[in-house]
Amino acid sequence: MLADDDGIFGSSMSDSTRAMVTENAEDILVVIYCFENNIDLDVLLSKARNAFERFAAAENIDSWIYINRNCRKPEWIQLKK
């Protein structure tokens, strides 16, 4: 489940009208859930970045990996552009 100060706005199974991407969207948050250890997240995010740049003319893309293994202290890793 994803939420902000205004409340829940989507989940991995469903979405809400507040989270819809329209032609007027300027800021988009993309969440990729990955539960497998043998996936190269850098490659996965690079492919996603390339697709957004190619098909949606996306600019100024920031990529972050949030790691929370076994409910331990989570880590945020910002990827280089």
Token pair of 2, please?
């994803």
Pairwise CA distance, residues 12 & 1, whole Å: 7
| Domain boundaries defined on the chain | 1-31, 38-81
Confidence at residue 76, expressed as pLDDT on a 0 to 100 scale? 62
Residue 53: what pLDDT?
92
The 3-state secondary structure of the chain reads CEEECCEEEECCCCECHHHCCCCCCCCCCCCCCCCCCCCCHHHHHHHHHHHHHHHHCCCCCCCEEEECCCCCCCEEEECCC
CA angle (41, 73, 70) in 5-degree steps: 70
Residue 14 scores a pLDDT above 70: no
Higher pLDDT, 66 or 58: 58
Higher pLDDT, 72 or 39: 39
Q: Tell me: pLDDT of 81 over 60.
A: no
What's the pLDDT score for residue 37?
Answer: 78
pLDDT of residue 50: 93
